[in-house]
Amino acid sequence: MNHFQYINGELHAEDIPLARIAEAVGTPFYCYSTATLERHYKVFAEAFADQQATICYALKANANLGVIRTFADLGSGADVVSEGELRKALAGGIPADKIVFSGVGKTRSELAYALDCGIMQLNVESLPELEALSEIAVSKGVTADIAIRINPDVDARTHEKISTGKSENKFGINASQAPAAFARAAELPGVNPVSVAVHIGSQLTDLEPFRIAFERVAALVGELRGLGHDIKRVDLGGGLGIPYREEKIPLPIDYAAVVKSAVGNLGCRLMFEPGRMLVGNAGILVSRVIYVKQGGTRRFVIVDAAMNDLMRPAMYDAWHEIKPLKQPENGVAMEPADVVGPACESSDTFARQRPLPPVRDGDLMAIFTAGAYGAVMASTYNARLLAPEVLVRGPEWSVVRPRPSYDEMLRDESLASWQGGG
Phi, psi of 332 (to 5 degrees): -65, 140
Residue 90 vs residues 56, 84, 140, 373, 402: alpha-carbon distances, Å: 13, 10, 21, 21, 21
For residue range 86-140, what is the model confidence (pLDDT) as tens digits?
999 999 999 999 999 999 999 999 999 999 999 999 999 999 999 999 999 999 9
Contact 171, 162 (CB under 8 A): no
> Considering only CA atoms, which of 337, 322, 345, 351 is closest in space to residue 292?
337
The domain segmentation of the chain, as residue ranges, is 4-30+280-411, 32-278
Q: If you write DSSP's letter for every residue of 227-267 in order, what string do you get?
A: TT----EEE----B---SSS-----HHHHHHHHHHHHTTS-
Q: Is there a common fold for 4-30+280-411 and 32-278?
A: no
Nearest CA among 28, 24, 3 for reference residue 364: 28
The Cα–Cα gap between 125 and 51 comes to 27
Helices (H), 308-415: 312-316, 406-411
Least confident segment among 85-89, 200-204, 206-210, 406-410 = 200-204
Q: How far apart are CA 186 and CA 421, in angstroms?
A: 54
pTM of the model: 0.94
Most confident range, picked from 65-74, 156-165, 173-182, 329-338: 65-74
**Which residue out of 31, 56, 268, 344 is catalytically annotated?**
344
For residue 159, what pLDDT is reported?
Answer: 44
Work out the pLDDT band at 167, boundaries 50, 70, 90: very low
Nearest to 13 by CA among 389, 399, 403, 396: 396
Mean pLDDT value across residues 163-174: 58
Give the list of residues 6+ apart from residue 327 with CB closer than 8 angstroms, or none: 6, 9, 10, 11
Binning pLDDT at 50, 70 and 90, where does residue 165 land?
A: very low
Q: What Å distances lie between residue 147 and 185, 225, 228, 237, 357, CA to CA?
A: 10, 14, 16, 12, 52
Question: What is the pLDDT, as a whole number, of residue 411?
Answer: 93
H/E stretch holding 122: strand 121-124
Q: Tell me how crowded residue 357 is: count the other CB atoms within 10 A of its CB.
A: 16
Q: What is the pLDDT of residue 160?
A: 52
CATH code for 32-278?
Answer: 3.20.20.10
CA atoms of 31 and 205, how far apart (whole Å): 26
Query: Of 99, 29, 93, which Cα lies nearest the Cα of 67?
Result: 93
Reference 276, options 40, 14, 34; nearest CA is: 40
36-74: pLDDT as tens digits: 999 999 999 999 999 999 999 999 999 999 999 999 999
Most distant CA pair in the chain, distance: 71
**Rounded Cα gap, residues 167 and 174, in angstroms:** 7
CATH homologous superfamily of 4-30+280-411? Lyase, Ornithine Decarboxylase; Chain A, domain 1 (2.40.37.10)
CA atoms of 420 and 422, how far apart (whole Å): 6
Query: Is 344 labeled as catalytic in the residue annotation?
Result: yes
